[in-house]
Amino acid sequence: MPQDSVLALKRRARKINRELAQLYPYAHAELDFRNAFELLVATVLSAQTTDIRVNAVTPALFARFPTPLAMAQASTVELETLIKPTGFFRAKAGNLLALSTRLVDEYDGVVPGTLEALVTLPGVGRKTANVVLGNAFGVPGITVDTHFMRLAKRFGWTESTDPVRIEADVAALFEPKDWTMLSHRVVFHGRRICHARKPACGACPIAHLCPAYGDGEVDPVKAVKLLKYELAPGQEELLARMQADVENAAQYRQESQLAARAAQSIGGQP
């Protein structure tokens, strides 16, 4: 690619990031955690499921097994039962038991703070390692999950489908200090507006910067109906709270999800 094209791509990419920062000033890790171990476990559990489902499981899991030592000593059956709603629970339970044992035996029960060490743990790849590094240790990292992969291609930041290559391509466009928050913003946008099957192009504030504009619904009225979470119609109060109190946005999101689950539970009763 000619140098001027590379420069234009970088400028557009950084403008997208700035506008996403204005759109999601409250962007954060949507997995609930209180320490590096909880984030590590939650991220392992998040494979092939949603953060909402993981967040529904982890309170009871961490109440029962709050430390690597406690989890390393867990019975397989009990651990599988607790995490079953996240899917692939047998494989995940095996990974959690193995990584907890490794943490106890090799790291004195402390989650290591380097990419090189984290990726050696069972069930931990670069994506999980970057989530933990960026959000528990403050080490810049790009988290390439399915949302990030999809949007990175739509934005023209990469042509690859390989997560490692995508990470490298995107990293070249931004300063390291921006990597972690960029990841949150892009994932937020993917979950709320730029969906896999029906992106809400007509309601997207950064549509003017997107090479893929038109892949989804462009009619503004119809597109608004596709918005999710705090951007969805009827969620104006939640959005206002998250925008007005960025530091406590995660708590407001958690409360909203708990209320939604409670409503679903009541509605499902005979």
In a domain, 186, yes or no: yes
Q: Do 183 and 242 belong to one domain?
A: no
Residue 265 has pLDDT above 80, yes or no: no
- What is the pTM assigned to this prediction? 0.92
Q: Do 66 and 53 belong to one domain?
A: yes
In a domain, 1, yes or no: no
Q: Distance (Å, rounded) from C-alpha 44 to C-alpha 122?
A: 9
- Which CATH number does the domain housing residue 130 bear? 1.10.340.30
CB 232 within 8 A of CB 214: no
Residue 263 has pLDDT above 50, yes or no: yes
**pLDDT bracket for residue 270 (50, 70, 90):** very low
* Count: domains in the chain: 3
127 catalytic, yes or no? yes
Residue 264 has pLDDT above 80, yes or no: no
Q: Do 47 and 121 belong to one domain?
A: yes
- Which CATH number does the domain housing residue 215 bear? 1.10.1670.10
Catalytic option among 127, 222, 225, 228: 127
pLDDT on residue 258:
85
Measured CA angle at 17 (ends 12, 19), to 5 deg: 95
Known binding residues are: 194, 201, 204, 210
Domain that holds residue 119: 36-137
Domain C-terminal end among 95, 113, 137: 137
145 catalytic, yes or no? yes
Q: Do 59 and 10 belong to one domain?
A: no
Q: Do 190 and 111 belong to one domain?
A: no
Known binding residues for [4Fe-4S] cluster are: 194, 201, 204, 210
Catalytic option among 32, 51, 145, 178: 145
Per-residue model confidence as pLDDT tens digits over 18-73: 999 999 999 999 999 999 999 999 999 999 999 999 999 999 999 999 999 999 99
